[in-house]
Chain A
């Protein structure tokens, strides 16, 4: 028995590491996708399994960067007033052939109309299918933004906007904008199986969906007629493994090639493992502590600045991030264009902080720090972080109580402004600075609660609004740099840290890049030795 077991395990081991001819890449993904239509869902796990494998978008993010490059559109132009975008579509793009569907035509403008109208128009025959809740379409305010989408000809589509919104092109590269097949939709509608469009996906992407067993495995094969050239990987397997320790064991045993989200405690061992390449990159995120600027004394700039100075960020980085992070001084991470490196952060200076609090007339301040109940890349241990801040503030005479709630409750109450100070963070969606600053610090966000500081600064807000209107990136950069200066001076947040993302990959994998937006991409030069 033992011999058989050994022979089999060796066989498996050889099969994984020696699949060089068959080229099967196994990705130990962290969970099951919610479904296979990225427009309906919001989890990165779902995007990895759908938009990054099966689908394409009009424009896409280049692997390993937030640069927008052509996708299903070969080129695009914007009108001078920033209200019209015309996309010239790629010709000869083939849809997948699956056991349920054989396409009779190539991709064209009808597919774009089908995809966007489904999300946008309530009377579209597919709008209500699978619950009809198009999360990112809503979050990116696409419903308000879009005025019309017109088919100019089979290979030209024009989007007209209600107001100028420079990040629009970046939005089109986001996962939710993945393009479906109108022909497949018509066929399913005719046979009364509309739901299948979201569970048995057909796209134009580098991999063809083959099968899915919930919580177990997803299988794909290379799309032979892919417009960007056939993938080097013949078969792609997602082996769903929710526990990070087990993912690491599987990676070591050669049962998978790439794993996401390692335990911070395992990172040092992975770095030393000769079988593993430990890739790393600064995450596109920011962890912060927001002051509720509607409540005194946090309505005073001087108090906010003083409390900024009272926090020892380096010790937070050492204790909470265990070195896997960098101190944040701006509300956007350094990987995003327009990051203003000239901004000077508040130095850790408890004495000066005390003096400033006295100057502001604040003494014996009693407040609270809300700590999130969940782990996030931008804050791996909010409770511990809150304890460190509590201790730092105690040194300047501020007594803070740590408060926490269940996650849904936490989000709801902090949105309603029940907190004095709250720990939270953000992971970018489209690599545009607007996606951090306007969403988290704009005046509109202060009204709807997304801006946890409830801070509405006219100068800051008008700078951001101006930056939305111009399409020239150099001009936008200047505006965002200015906004960061205002932000730092006004100090509505304590910017704490940006995390570092680690991606352990087996040595036989070549060309794999860590994507700043968090996606796992197995195309674009990924190969097995």
Chain B
């Protein structure tokens, strides 16, 4: 197990450097320099422009800028945001828990509904139930997030008055951020009703963000289950007279799970991409919205630092998924 972990970590080193290069290059490929964007219609004189570029280290040759960046990253310094003048890492970690909380709830929603739906569709293959589940999941997969979010807000928040429109917590509650996870912080606070309010604020964003992963998980579970259900050992298990529930839950599902876990792992990137839109619609203070704002305002340091941290978190999740394989099927470790 340790050897396996070490090998996987070793592979991450070149990936990490690749990511720094992409993060560094991405924002510089875009036209428009940050000083001009910041000045807008009011403009900035040529002298002041040169002065600011020097101050920001942006007039040095690209390779030198990259080396400076890598040097700083290795020392744990991701730079300072051009817009807010605050350390990029500080801004990121202030917003990251909100995205993480939303992503966790969305993926839980997708798993809890997706896996049983996939199993049912596989077991009831070819029936109306199967077609219904697959039809709905196709619709879910094709759903434009922005439209879907607004539709749910209009229905549940405005027409039925069941959920709040946006935000993480009602303004009536003042919860001190401790962990940054609103569910935990509101639970720990003395404010009565804050936890419930935090839960209610999570419902719609989780459903919206979880819709595409839910569809993917349901479809993958179905096909993995179909494959496994036609294996000889399943037929043997059935022939031995085991109950259908035992055959599906113990024998088939465990092997089908390898594919499903892979797919769930891959959904992390989907969730982070979806978070950009979901966070915008629901006024969710997370990193998706922040990174987009940073790209538009050509905040070089926020973009390169933010992308690096996002990529690192995806790598950590993928590593965890790899380790999970080992737990599900120990043969992989060898």
Contact = CB atoms under 8 A, between A and B. Distances in A.
Interface of A: 2, 4-6, 8-13, 15, 24, 26, 31, 34-35, 40, 42, 130-131, 133, 135, 138-139, 198-199, 211, 213-217, 219, 237, 239-243, 245-246, 249-250, 252-253, 255, 405-409, 411-412, 415, 424-427, 448-450
Nearest to B46: A448
A214 B31 contact: no
A100 to B, nearest CB: 15
A24 to B, nearest CB: 7
Contact of A214 (B95, B161, B171): B95
Given A214-B91, A215-B286, A253-B165, 8 more contacts: A5-B200, A8-B200, A34-B84, A215-B95, A245-B150, A255-B166, A408-B298, A448-B46
Contacts of B290: 214-215
A181 B44 CA distance: 29
Given A198-B85, A216-B167, A6 B161 contact: yes
Contacts of A6: 161-162
Q: What 6 pairs between A and B have smallest CB-CB spacing?
A: A408-B32, A215-B285, A216-B285, A408-B36, A408-B37, A406-B31
Contacts of B191: none
A177 B240 CA distance: 85
Nearest to B172: A15
A215 B165 contact: no
Contacts of B37: 407-408, 411
A8 B196 contact: yes
Contacts of B281: 243, 246
A294 B255 CA distance: 75
A211 B169 CA distance: 15
A412 B31 CA distance: 11
Contacts of A10: 161
Nearest to A250: B165
Contacts of B80: 131
Given A214-B91, A408-B298, A409-B32, A9 B161 contact: yes
B188 interface: no
Nearest to A410: B32
Contact of B154 (A249, A255, A448): A249
B22 interface: no
5 contacts: A4-B196, A35-B85, A130-B85, A211-B174, A448-B45
B244 interface: no
Contact of A243 (B83, B163, B283, B293): B283
A409 to B, nearest CB: 4
B95 A9 contact: no
Given A42-B42, A252-B158, A240 B283 contact: yes
A415 B285 CA distance: 36
B80 to A, nearest CB: 8
B101 interface: no
B161 A239 contact: no
Contacts, number: 154
Given A12-B170, A215-B285, A245-B150, A406 B30 contact: yes
A216 B46 CA distance: 37
A40 B86 CA distance: 13
B211 interface: no
Nearest to A13: B161
A215 to B, nearest CB: 3
A410 B203 CA distance: 42
B280 interface: yes
B150 A411 contact: no
B222 interface: no
A41 to B, nearest CB: 8
A10 to B, nearest CB: 7
A507 B309 CA distance: 45
Most buried by A among B39, B83, B171, B196: B171
A213 B177 contact: yes
Nearest to A427: B41
Contacts of B282: 246
Contacts of A239: 166-167, 171, 283
Contact of A216 (B30, B52, B168): B168
B296 to A, nearest CB: 9
B32 A250 contact: no
Nearest to B154: A249
A450 B46 CA distance: 12
A91 to B, nearest CB: 35
B157 interface: yes
B213 to A, nearest CB: 23
Contact of B32 (A215, A253, A406): A406
B304 interface: no
A40 B81 CA distance: 14
Contacts of A11: 193
B197 interface: yes
A285 to B, nearest CB: 10
